Amino acid sequence: MSQYIIAVDAMGSDQAPKTEVEAVLQLVDQFSNVTFQLFGDENKIAQYLQREHERIQVVHCTSVITGEDDAATAVRVKKDSSMAQAIMAVRQKNAHAVISSGNTGAYLSGSTLLLGRLKGIHRPALASTMPTTKKGQNMVFLDLGAISDGSEKNIFQNAIMGQQMAKILLGVKQPRVALLNNGTESKKGSESYVAAHQMLANETAIQFVGNIEPRDMFDGGCDVVTCEGFAGNITLKSLEGMQKAFIEVLTQEVKQRFGAKIGYLLMKPALRGLKNRLDYRKIGGAMMVGLKAPAIKAHGGSDTEAFASAIKMAVMVVEKDLTTSIATAITEATQS
C-alpha cells in the first residue's frame, strides 16, 4: 500500500487549532497509509493533541494568515505562516496534498503561486461535489469562486476538469455536463456563456446536455455543472442561505403550532435524513483544480466533522491521482 503525507494548516479555521487537530485524531487510525503534518503554533496544537502518534507530525510556525491580510501578498509576506509552510511542503515534495480553512483569497493565490498551474490550464477553479435530489447521486459543481471574471475558455476547461472529477471521485463512466445559465436556449447569457455553449457542444470528448438553470441543477439530470466563478459563488451562497432559512422557518412553525409539533415528531426521522443529505459537513471542502498538486479548501467555519470530510477528500484525490487525470484530459482537449 502506498504511503501518503497530507499537509494541514492547523491555524486556519474559526476554532483553530481545535478543529484541525481533532479531525486528524479522528482519522489517523482509519487511514493507516497516511501521515499528517500539522503546521501551526506547537504550544496551541499540543493543547488538543491528546496523544502522540507516529503518523502525526507537528511543524512549528511563528505566524498565522488572518482574514485581514492582503490575499495577493499574504503568503509571500508571511512566509513562516502555517498556511505558507503547509503549501511549501507540497511544493518541495515533502507532502502530497495540502488542506486549509484559512483566508480563501490568500490560500488560492498562494497555492497558485507556489504549486503552479498544470500545462494548458488557463486559470484554476474551485470545485466540489454536491448532493442531488436523486438519492445516492452527487454531482460536481465549479467554479465556486476562484475566478470571478472567467472567460469562455475558463468555463470550457472547468467542464473538462469537472468531468474528470466525476469519473474519478464519483465513479461516473460518462458524466453528463451542463452549463449553468439563466435559460436553456443556446443563445442565452452573456457573450462568454454563448461562446462557452458552442465550445462545449463541439467537443466530442464531453457529453454536453446543454444549459441548465439554477433551479434545475440538483434534479439529477447532470453530473457536472460548469460556470465561471462569479455565478458559481453567488449560486453557492444562495443555496447555503436557503438551507439556513428553510431550517429556521420550519423551527418557527413547529414552535408556534401545536399540530405542527405533532407532525414534526412523526416526520422527525425523515427530516433527519433530509438534513444529512444536505449537510455541507459531509462534503467538507472544495478542491483547487488545475494546479500541479492537490490543494483542498475547507470552510472557515468548519467543525471537526466538516474538516474530517475535507481531509477524506484530500486523501481520495491523492490516492486516485486526480491531478494526473486532469492533466491528461486537458492535454487531449488542447490537441483536439
Task: Name the DSSP letter for residue 175.
Answer: -
Average pLDDT score, the chain: 89
278, three cell numbers: 444536505
Question: With contact defined as beta carbons under 8 Å apart, do 309 and 281 qualify?
Answer: yes
Question: With contact defined as beta carbons under 8 Å apart, do 284 and 306 qualify?
Answer: yes
pLDDT digits (tens, 9 = 90+) for 288-316: 999 999 999 998 888 899 899 999 999 99
Q: 142: pLDDT confidence band, cut at 50, 70 and 90?
A: very high
Determine the pLDDT at residue 287: 93
CA 57 to chain centroid, in Å, comes to 25
Determine the pLDDT at residue 258: 58
β partners of residue 285:
298
Determine the pLDDT at residue 247: 66
Instruction: Return d(Cα 231, Cα 293) in angstroms, integer.
Output: 26
Domains of the chain: 1-118+290-320 (3.40.718.10), 122-288 (3.40.718.10)
Selection from 73, 6, 15 nearest residue 39 by Cα: 6
Determine the pLDDT at residue 168: 92
Selection from 288, 270, 180, 276 nearest residue 225 by Cα: 180
Between 293 and 147, whose confidence is greater? 293
Instruction: Return d(Cα 148, Cα 161) in angstroms, integer.
Output: 18
Q: 270: pLDDT confidence band, cut at 50, 70 and 90?
A: low
Phi, psi of 189 (to 5 degrees): 90, -175
Longest CA–CA span in the chain (Å) reads: 65
User: Rounded to the nearest 10 degrees, what angle do helices 152-170 and 191-202 cross at?
Assistant: 50
Q: 264: pLDDT confidence band, cut at 50, 70 and 90?
A: low
Q: 245: pLDDT confidence band, cut at 50, 70 and 90?
A: confident
Q: 283: pLDDT confidence band, cut at 50, 70 and 90?
A: low
Determine the pLDDT at residue 200: 96
Selection from 117, 106, 226 nearest residue 163 by Cα: 226
Asked which of 50-54, 200-204, 214-218, 235-239 is least confident by mean pLDDT, the reply is: 235-239
Question: With contact defined as beta carbons under 8 Å apart, do 215 and 180 qualify?
Answer: no
The amino acid at 325? S
Determine the pLDDT at residue 278: 56
Question: With contact defined as beta carbons under 8 Å apart, do 259 and 245 qualify?
Answer: no
Task: Name the DSSP letter for residue 181.
Answer: -
Averaged over 259-280, what is the pLDDT? 59
The amino acid at 304? T
Task: Name the DSSP letter for residue 290.
Answer: T
pLDDT at residue 220 tops 70: yes
Averaged over 68-81, what is the pLDDT? 91
